[in-house]
Amino acid sequence: MSELLNRRLTLLGERPNLDLLNQCLHGIERECLRVDANGQLALTPHSPALGSALTHAQITTDYSESLLEFITPTETDPADTLADLERVHRFAYSKLGDEYVWSASMPCPLPSEEDIPIARYGSSHIGRLKYVYRKGLALRYGKTMQCIAGIHYNFSLPETLWPLLQASEGNRDSVRDYQSESYIALIRNFRRYSWLLMYLFGASPALDAGFMRGRPHQLKQLDADTLYLPYATSLRMSDLGYQSSAQSGLTPCYNDLASYTDSLRKAVSTPYPEYARIGTKRDGEWLQLNTNVIQIENEYYSSIRPKRVTYTGERPIEALMARGVQYIEVRCLDINPFLPLGIDLEEARFLDAFLLFCALQDSPLLANGECHASTDNFLKVVKEGRRPGLHLQRRGAPVSLQDWGMELLEQIRPFAELLDRSHGGSAHVESLAAQHAKLADPDLTPSAQVLANLQRNGESFSAFALRQSRAHAEYFRGTPLDAAQQAEFEALARQSLAEQAALEVEQVGDFDAFVASYQASILGLAV
């Protein structure tokens, strides 16, 4: 253990500071496809009974009209976050009729590309902008890939922790800059070690054969309707996802916040020849917001993002540049098809210990090929993480995944113990023990359990995922919300519809000018 890390652990373990770790904030966003009773993509529009996808704070859509996204408020205890997520699911199921929420990250059997419905958000300028952005995504990457779903885990350390650490280290930067650079350091360590999360929690080793649309691939045939890789953990996070030559050259540097924001600012303001040839309009109809490498910041696909809550009309880069990093968003987590929420408290407790380790552990700059090696390790684990004897690269030398993983768990242990001292009980250490068991026995991982279920039951991937979807629906519908909670969600749905209607009535100017102004907001940022 380094001197810096030892000093930080000692400081946070002191009685006056221990309660700080009870003030970490958590939020979860869960994406999930709506499917019909037969497990086919639901082609019905987003139900008004769920509220407005544009303005509802907790229930929206992602890429497709059929791709729901449930968003929790922030809570200091992930148990409360999961309780919030469960209530959203129960309300949604009260309005879904005979439809189901798909249980897996990889999609159900999909209709033809042209029949996958893009999400719509009404006639306001911002609603139309969201729709055109999605049209651009379809143009650039196809619709099929964007029906993949995942779980995003938002996490922040308390604002009062950073000045405490800064003072103890004699750092003379502004508190804002120290906090931002500390989160960027967390992200660097996450890049180094996130392969471990894919091994432990990856749950997408197989997919519906139709997903490939006849494209060449290296997958194996499990049955007539299922493709898989025998040692894969998360095909969702493999190179089956975004296939973009434009983004292939976009590798934002995580060595400081400025280099990250500069690389994204450049990407959202630099034309890409292939997209420029297509143009933004055809016969007066918008095709994409612009012809740049990425249309907006969120188009950049990454396993983790630095984030800052934005003001109305403010772009994410603007918020980061103006006020620094406020929290991080972990984006690489699969939906566990065995869990009604796709995630459980044991996973959340481990994520907290892992992220605290990433935040406080020494985090030198990524140099001498380490960034490339981290990407290679990640991609190797998502495609063959359970392969016996698999080796990764660490500081230029091979190391077995199992040995490195066990070492990391021991390095994370003091953080789990610190969290348990802060919260009381032993939940974080117990979660660590569960992950230790998965490293010792790959058959305990969710990805192995998915394949074991398919093979044991002679099921296709889609039949398995539909069976799990039905079981989850029975779970949620079996214990509906109480009358007060149901009424609260009903009121939120009505309020969101009213807010969308007000936006549509009150807007001024034309849409083209609105898009031009939105684009100008990024061009005007200082380099």
Q: DSSP assignment of 378-420, as one string?
A: HHHHHHHTTSTT-EEEETTEEEEHHHHHHHHHHHHHHHHHHHH
Strand, helix or coil for residue 297? helix
- Judge whether 33 and 41 are in contact, CB under 8 Å: yes
Cβ-contact 124, 131 below 8 angstroms: no
- Listed residue (12, 2, 210, 29) closest to 111, CA to CA: 210
Distance, CA of 153 to CA of 165 (rounded, Å): 24
**455-463 long-range contacts, Cβ below 8 Å, gap at least 24?**
455/222, 458/223, 460/208, 460/222, 460/223, 460/224, 460/225, 460/226, 461/104, 461/106, 461/206, 461/207, 461/208, 461/222, 461/225, 461/226, 461/228, 462/39, 462/108, 462/109, 462/208, 462/225, 462/226, 463/39
Q: What are phi and psi of 330, to 5 degrees?
A: -85, 125
- CA 332, 333, 339 angle in degrees (round to 5)? 165
Asked whether 84 and 75 are in contact (CB, 8 A), the reply is yes
For residue 122, which of 195, 183, 60, 76 has the smallest C-alpha distance? 60
> How far is Cα 359 from Cα 182, in angstroms, rounded to an integer?
7
What H or E segment, with its residue span, contains residue 67?
strand 67-71
Single pTM value for the model: 0.97
Domain layout of the chain by residue ranges: 24-523
In b/e form, how buried is each residue of 365-397, taking b as 16+ CB within 10 angstroms?
A: ebeeebbebbeebbebbbbbbbbeebbbbbeee
What are the two backbone dihedrals, phi and then psi, of residue 143, each rounded to the nearest 5 degrees?
-80, -30
Distinct helix (H) and strand (E) counts, the chain:
19, 14
Among candidate residues 128, 104, 103, 107, the one with its CA nearest the CA of residue 118: 128
Beta bridge partners of 41: 35
Q: Are strands 220-223 and 226-228 parallel, antiparallel or unpaired?
A: antiparallel
List 110's β-bridge partners, or say none.
none
**Contact, 282 vs 136, CB < 8 A?**
no
Q: What is the pLDDT along the chain (527 residues), one digit of tens a residue?
A: 789 999 999 999 999 999 999 999 999 999 999 999 999 999 999 999 999 999 999 999 999 999 999 999 999 999 999 999 999 999 999 999 999 999 999 999 999 999 999 999 999 999 999 999 999 999 999 999 999 999 999 999 999 999 999 999 999 999 999 999 999 999 999 999 999 999 999 999 999 999 999 999 999 999 999 999 999 999 999 987 555 677 766 767 788 999 899 989 999 999 999 999 999 999 999 999 999 999 999 999 899 999 999 988 788 999 999 999 999 999 999 999 999 999 999 999 999 999 999 999 999 998 878 888 999 999 999 999 999 999 999 999 999 999 999 999 999 999 999 999 999 999 999 999 999 999 999 999 999 999 999 999 999 999 999 999 999 999 999 999 999 999 999 999 999 999 999 999 999 999 999 999 988 877 665 33
- What is the maximum span of the chain, computed from C-alpha positions, in angstroms? 67
What SS3 state is found at 277? Answer: helix
The number of angstroms, rounded, from the C-alpha of 18 to the middle of its chain's C-alpha atoms is 29
**Residue 526: what pLDDT?**
39
- In the numeric block, the tokens 């650079």 are attached to 181
Which tokens sit at 478?
A: 């079996």
**What is the C-alpha separation between 475 and 90, in angstroms, rounded?**
9
With helix as H, strand as E and coil as C, how does 490-512 read?
HHHHHHHHHHHHHHHHHCCCCHH
- How far, in Å, CA of 206 to CA of 227, rounded? 6
Q: Give the side-chain half-sphere CA count within 13 A for 40.
A: 7
Q: In this predicted structure, what is the pLDDT of residue 527?
A: 36
What does the DSSP assignment read for 1-62? Answer: --HHHHHHHHHHHSHHHHGGGGG-EEEEEEEEEEE-TTSSBP-SPPPGGG--TTT-SSEEE-
User: Burial level of 124, CB count in 10 A (0-12/13-18/19+)?
Assistant: buried
The residue count for the chain: 527
Residue pair 24/81 in contact (Cβ under 8 Å)? The answer is no
* β 281-282/285-286 pair status: antiparallel
Name the class of domain 24-523. Answer: alpha beta
Can you give the pLDDT at residue 524?
61
pLDDT, position 160: 95
Amino acid identity of residue 86, one-letter, is: E
CB 315 within 8 A of CB 524: no
Residue 473 and residue 101 in contact, taking contact as beta carbons nearer than 8 Å:
yes
Separation between Cα atoms, residue 94 and residue 417, nearest integer Å = 40
- Expressed in percent and rounded to 5, the helix, strand and coil fractions of the chain are 50, 15, 35
